[in-house]
Amino acid sequence: METDSATMRAPGPHTTPGATPDGTPNITMHEAVARMACLLDAACEDLVHAQQAVETCVRGLALSDADMSSLQKLDVATQTVAAVTTVLRNLISLPHPGPADGVSVAGLYDGVTLGAVVRALKGTHAPDGSLPAGTIDLF
C-alpha cells in the first residue's frame, strides 16, 4: 500500500476559501477523507511490517494461548485498518455527495472481506474487536 504524501500536504488543491478563526485552512470533506485514508494506508503498511517482524521473532517458539490471542488481535487490527481504508477510498471515489446525501452501503464495502466492517456499515453489529482464538471473521 502506497501513500501519496502530496495528498497529505495542507492546504491542498481542494482547499476552500477562507480559514477558521484559529488560522487553519478550510478543506472539503472529500479532501479530509482522502488525507485520512492516506494516513490509514501508512498505518496498515506499518502493521504489516510489524506482523512480519513478530512472525520472524516467534518462529519455532511455542506460544501460550494469551500470546496467540495477542497475535490474532494484531492480525485483526491490520485487517480492520486495511478494510476501513478501502471503505474510505470507495467513499471518495463517489461523486462528491453532500453530508446528508445517502450512499450505497454495498458500494462502500466493495472489496472488503472483513465481516465486522461490513456489519458496522450495515448497522447490524457494532464491532467490539474481540474474537475467540481461532475465529475467522468473514461475511
What's the pLDDT tens digit per position in 66-81?
A: 988 999 999 999 999 9
Which pTM was predicted? Answer: 0.70
50-62 mean pLDDT: 90
The per-residue pLDDT for 17 is 64
**Confidence tier at 60 by pLDDT (50, 70, 90):** confident
How do the domains of the chain map onto residue ranges?
5-122
Helix residue ranges per DSSP H, the chain: 5-8, 29-58, 65-93, 105-108, 115-122
d(CA 106, CA 110): 6
d(CA 39, CA 53): 21
Q: Which amino acid is at 111?
A: G
- List C-alpha distances in Å: 80 to 64, 73, 102: 24, 10, 23
Task: Kindly report, residue by residue over 97-123, the tens digit of the pLDDT.
Answer: 677 788 889 999 999 999 999 999 999
- Among the listed residues 31, 56, 45, the one whose alpha carbon sits nearest the alpha carbon of residue 3: 45
28-46 mean pLDDT: 92
